[in-house]
Amino acid sequence: MIPFRDTYRDIPLYSPAKKPCRVDLSDNTNLFGAPPSADRVLREEGFLRLARYPAGYAPDLKRAVARYADVAVENVTTGCGSDDVIDCALRAFLEPGDVVAFPDPTFVMVPLFARLSALKPVPVPLRAGSDLDLDLDVEGLLATGAKLIYVCTPNNPTGTVASRAAVERLVDRAPGVVLIDQAYVEFARGGDFLDLARTRPNVLVTRTMSKAFGLAGLRVGWGVGSPSLVAEVEKARGPYKHTTLGEAVAVSALTEDVAWMEACAAEAVENRERLRGGLKALGLEPLPSEGNFLLVPVPEARRVGESLRERNVNVRVFEGLTGVGDALRIGCGPWPMMASALK
Ligand code: PMP
């Protein structure tokens, strides 16, 4: 078992309107905490770096990402979280009034960023397959004519994955860019699309340091695509997207903490399946997730979420999700933390 430092003990939830909860399973972060090398970098180098600017366009971080993802530096862009890479990509490839298409339900920031840039968000429902599985409606996405199609796999909030066949069909036929958000890929059985980002000129894969790597507070994300695609995204971003400390810690994590990250991800997945068993025993039917979380359809999710919060447990409540209805999304981490939430 991975030892974890319970960073949730004294830190109030990011949403000040809510009462802090003892067990916060709401944001799909690495509940084992931050990677070991972060401690050293912050203690030994943190203060020294504060007075100067970081280098523009994060060359150290890009080199570390390129090594980790096995691509050239020219294939890499970075941002203040992968949120920011997505936001920059929308602005890089679309003009105000243009359509951005995405499966529904998916990551809520996409329609938000679209609207902030005066784009037209067009949701296309995920298709229900067998056994609660959900896959992309490729024809529906293509029919929007969008010059940028966003796909998230494993998908937030469902946890379901897009099939390779569907993604390849989409990439083959899309009139513009296909952005594949893989914020949770470290938890998945395969389903990594970096190979498409390396070989197809219209694919941008985004990844994050916020989930498996345990660095959500640093705000570091990255994207991989062809050099010309990446150059377009870089034109839509400013040079100073990272703090000196954020860049240094992300570099050390990508270089020294990969085995730690993989061990955390494996344990989160094991505990996710253990939680699934517990929920099924209660008569619930979580969706088949390949993320570090489960989406559990429950009637009156808001009321259930509120009663959990009364018991000091925070989970994410969704109401009226397309094709799912009301549901709770429950993040998975160390078993003692999960078990205390189940009590
Ligand atoms: N994509 C997905 C699917 C997410 O769930 C999140 C975080 N909730 C992000 C991207 C953004 O993560 P970050 O900006 O922290 O990299």
Tens of pLDDT, residue by residue over 222-238, are: 999 999 999 999 999 99
Query: What distances in angstroms separate CA 278 from CA 7, 251, 297, 302, one per listed residue?
Result: 25, 38, 15, 21
Strands, DSSP E only, in 145-284? 148-152, 177-181, 203-208, 221-224
- Using one digit for the tens of pLDDT, what is the confidence trace for 27-37? 999 999 999 99
User: Which residues 6+ apart lie within 8 Å of 143 measured at CB?
Assistant: none
Q: Are 330 and 305 in contact (CB under 8 A)?
A: no
What would you report as the CA-atom Rg of the chain, rounded to the nearest whole angstrom? 20
169 has pLDDT over 90? yes
Average pLDDT over residues 211-231: 98
User: Which residues 6+ apart lie within 8 Å of 338 measured at CB?
Assistant: 25, 271, 274, 275, 332
CA 82 to ligand 1 center in whole angstroms:
6
Please choose from 77, 126, 156, 209 the residue to mutate so as to test ligand 1's pocket, defined by most ligand atoms within 8 A of CB: 156
Tell whether pTM > 0.90: yes
Average pLDDT over residues 166-173: 97
C-alpha closest to that of 278 among 195, 343, 234: 343
Residues enclosing ligand 1, CB less than 6 A? 28, 81-83, 107, 152, 156, 181, 183, 208, 210, 216, 221
Please choose from 85, 211, 237, 293 the residue to mutate so as to test ligand 1's pocket, defined by most ligand atoms within 8 A of CB: 211
The encoded tokens of residue 11 equal 């830190």
Q: Are 229 and 77 in contact (CB under 8 A)?
A: no
Q: What is the DSSP letter of 149?
A: E
CA 96 to ligand 1 center in whole angstroms:
24
At 296, is the pLDDT very low, low, confident or very high (cuts 50, 70, 90)? very high
CA 88 to ligand 1 center in whole angstroms:
14
11 has pLDDT over 70? no
C-alpha closest to that of 293 among 193, 188, 192: 188
131 has pLDDT over 70? no
Q: Percent of the chain at pLDDT above 70?
A: 93
